[in-house]
Homo-oligomer: A and B are copies of this chain.
Amino acid sequence: MDQFTFYSPTEFVFGKDMEQQCGSYVKKHGGSRVLIHYGSGSAIRSGLLDRVKLSLEESGIYYVTLGGVQPNPRDTLIYEGIRICREEQIDFILSVGGGSCIVSAKGIALGVPYQGDFWDFYGTGKPVECALPIGTILTIAAAGSEGSGASVVTKEEGMLKRDTGSDLLRPRFSILNPALTQTLPAYQTACGATDTMAHVFERYFTNTKEVEITDRLCEAILLTMIKETPRVIADPDLYEARANIMWAGTVAHNDIVGVGRSQDWNSHGIEHELSGLYDCAHGAGLAVIMPAWMEYVMHHDVMRFAQMAVRIWGCEMNFACPEATAREGIQRFRMFLHSIGMPINFAELCAREEDIPVLVEKFGLGEGKTGGFVALSSADIAAIYRIAAHASL
C-alpha cells in the first residue's frame, strides 16, 4: 500500500426529513449569512427550497438564493455567485441539489476569497489556499461531491470541462435524505449509479500491488450498486434501496476505498470531452466510455480484470484462459448498463464518430501521455473513442 493521508471531516447527516434541520447545522458550522445555491425548478416545485428557507429562518440565519445550476455546471453562474457573495458578505454556501450544484458551489466557495479569476484553479493543479465553508443537501446520489473535495466546471467559451480539488472544498456537513432522490427519473437515477460505479472502477484499476482491503471495499460498493440499481429503476419509491445507493455513492468518492493505491481517472477525462461537447449526462457518457477503456487497457493486467469478472460480476473463472473471463466481465458490465437504460455506444448517446478528432483535440494531450494504470497517448484515446463508437451487446 502506498503512503497516504486521509482526511474526511464532513459531518454526514442521513435519514428522512433531515433537511428540516439544516438551519441548526449551518449555525453549528459557523454560518450566519448564507447563499442557497440550487439547480432546477424541481427544488422549488417539490417544496424542498421552502423547507430549507424555513429552517434557516427558524435559526435566525440571513440568506439569499441563486438557482439555475445546469448539469455540467458553467463558469458563468459561478461568476454571478462570487459577485453575490461579495456584495452580500456571505459566510456560508448551502448547496441544495445534486453533484452539479455542489461542484458549482465549490467553485463559488474558492472564488470568493481569491483576488484573481476562479478559473485559474481548474485544470492547472494550482492549490486552493482559502475557501468559504459549504454545506450540502443532496438530491441526487451520484457524484459523491457531498463528501469529496473535488469540483468539475465547464467554461462556456469553448465548452472546456476542467477540474480542481482540495480538502478545503470538502463540505462541513452533508444532509443525505434518500427520500429526496425518489422523485428522480429513471434515466437520471441510472446516470447517477453509473457515475458512482465509475468512481470505484477508476480506483479499482491500479498498479499498486497487495491492496486487498481497498480492493474488497471497492467490490463491496460495486456489488451493492449491482443489486440495488435495477430495483430503483423498476420501482423509484424503494426508500431502502435508495438509501443503500446514497451511502454507496458517498463512500465511493470520499476516497476511503481508494487510499494508498495508484488510481486512473482517464475514463472520467475521456468522458468529460463528450459531455463538454454534446452536453450529455456525465453518467451516460461514462457508460459509453468506461467499458471501451477497459477493453483497450485490459492486456495491461488481465488477472485484475478477471478478478473483477469473478468477484463483481459473478463470472466463473476460466483457468485455461483468464482473458476470456476478463472479457466476459467487461461485457457483463456493458449488459448491466444497458439493462438500467444507459447508452452503450456513440449512436445511443447521440455522439458522432466524425467528431473523434475534435474530442481528442479538446482533451488537449498533444504529444504527451496520461494515466495511472495505463499511460495513454492521443492516439490511444482516439482508439478508445472508436471502440466506444461501435460497441454492441
Residues of A within 8 A of B (CB): 1-16, 18, 178, 209-214, 216-217, 219-221, 223-224, 227-228, 240-241, 243-244, 247-248, 251, 256, 259-260
Contact = CB atoms under 8 A, between A and B. Distances in A.
A213 B248 CA distance: 6
Contact of A212 (B13, B15, B178, B224): B224
Contact of A14 (B1, B8, B9, B228): B1
A18 B2 CA distance: 12
Contact of A224 (B213, B227, B241, B251): B213
A247 B18 contact: no
A4 to B, nearest CB: 5
A3 B8 contact: no
A217 B211 CA distance: 15
Given A8-B8, A212-B224, A247-B213, A240 B15 contact: no
Contacts of A212: 223-224, 227-228, 244
Given A240-B209, A241-B210, A217 B7 contact: no
B213 A244 contact: yes
5 contacts: A8-B9, A12-B259, A212-B224, A212-B244, A213-B247
Contact of A243 (B11, B240, B251, B260): B260
Contacts of A13: 5
Contact of A244 (B1, B10, B12): B1
A216 B251 CA distance: 12
A178 B209 CA distance: 16
A29 to B, nearest CB: 11
Contacts of A256: 251, 256
Contact of A221 (B210, B213, B223, B247): B213
Nearest to A11: B7
B5 A14 contact: yes
Which of A210, A220, A244 has most B Cβ within 10 Å? A220
B251 A217 contact: yes
A255 to B, nearest CB: 11
B259 A247 contact: yes
